Amino acid sequence: MDELSLTFSALADPTRRAILARLAQGEATVNELAAPFNLALPTISKHLKVLQHAGLVTQGRKAQWRPCRLDAAPLKTAAEWVERFRANWEERFGQLDGYLAELQREEKKRDDDNE
């Protein structure tokens, strides 16, 4: 899987999104992350593995508690792709705006001519 697919896959789960939201506030240990979810540690570890694989979370190697940290760079890439897709539609809708205005002017002109 390419990097972007990994990011989208990682974001496709509500627990993982909540973990990222928590880490956006600052680093946390696996125990701290597990606490609000009422989930078993292995389940949290599984989610963390997916997030780490996507490059969204890094875990300290040396510190005793191995705190988890957010790396937002892949999120930025994903947001840029979505924005590009949106911009293509925006360009097309902008053309439709112009065309609708033209149609309405023609319609008005026809009505005026008929009066």
Verify binding: residue 97, other proteins, rule CB under 8 A. Answer: yes
Q: Which DSSP string corresponds to 74-95?
A: HHHHHHHHHHHHHHHHHHHHHH
Element (H, E) at 99: helix 73-114
Q: How far is the CB of 60 from other proteins (least distance, A)?
A: 31
Q: Judged by CB under 8 A, does residue 85 bind other proteins?
A: yes
Longest dimension (CA), the chain: 86
- Binder among 3, 91, 108, 109 for other proteins (CB under 8 A): 91
Nearer to other proteins, 60 or 94 (CB): 94
Residues that bind other proteins (CB under 8 A): 4-5, 8-9, 12, 80-82, 84-86, 88-101, 103-104, 107
